[in-house]
Amino acid sequence: MQGWPVESRDAAQRVIKKYGEPDEACHSTLTWVRRGSWKRIVAHREPSKHNFPAPHVEMIECYIEFHVPPWKVSDLVRFEGSIVVYRTLGEISVRGHDEETNFLALNLAYDIVAGKRSVDDARRYYAQEFLNYRRKASTPYMKGLKFEPKRSDDPDERTLSDAELKRALDEGKRKAGAA
């Protein structure tokens, strides 16, 4: 982590203190696999700026196995811009300041997907729990996942047949041979 910005180094040190040495390391990231509730945790060298619910920087990205129906993805992006859905892998990640804010974001993402909260309600709850954390008050959504992550990949639907692919390949070979 030599040469990393102070806030990134501090965030990575908190993960090391809790989960031990990373499984992988390179100049820009540290990665832990299958630690705690997470499929993967990545500490990033370069912080990203984020203004919701208040200006802060994000360095810690946490991944879980979680299926998001395609029609719910835009709701999650409207709720929290640091959430990324990997549809074909059946994963979702969130990049935040720390593990606690990532728990908060993913618990609310689950509530949105399950139809328990609207995007606006989830944003209000996030802001309130963020303030409660600062006040040292109760923050139940920051204590861990409130649901069980489940693997559910979604490889999408095939639209091209083997015959179409073979014809295209043969046509490409003919054109390449003619050149």
Q: Residues 19-46: what's their mean pLDDT?
A: 96
Neighbours of 28 (CB within 10 A): 12
- Tokens 């997470």 -> residue: 38
CA atoms 38, 40, 46, 48: torsion sign: negative
The pLDDT of residue 156: 80
Q: Would 108 be classed as within a structural domain?
A: yes
**Given pLDDT bands bounded at 50, 70 and 90, which one contains residue 13?**
very high
Residue 152's pLDDT is what? 76
**What is the per-residue pLDDT for 157?**
84
Label residue 63 exposed, middle or buried (CB < 10 Å: 0-12, 13-18, 19+).
Answer: buried
**Would you say residue 69 lies in a domain?**
yes
pLDDT for 85 beyond 90: yes
Over residues 142-169, mean pLDDT: 88
- 171 inside domain: yes
Instruction: Tell me whether residue 163 is in a domain.
Output: yes
- The model's confidence at residue 15, banded by pLDDT at 50, 70 and 90, is very high
Tell me what pLDDT residue 24 has: 97
- Residue 1 inside a domain? The answer is no
Where does the pLDDT of residue 158 fall: very low under 50, low under 70, confident under 90, or very high at 90 and above?
A: confident
CA distance 143 to 122: 17
Q: Is residue 64 part of a domain?
A: yes
* Domain assignment present for 162: yes
Place of tokens 């179409």: 164
* Residue range of the domain that includes 109: 6-178
For the chain, the domain total comes to: 1
What own/partner pairs with CB < 8 Å and gap ≥ 24 does 155-164 have?
155/88, 156/87, 156/88
Structure tokens at 135: 């006040």
Q: pLDDT at position 6, please?
A: 92
The three state secondary structure string of 84-108 is: EEECCCCEEEEEECCHHHHHHHHHH
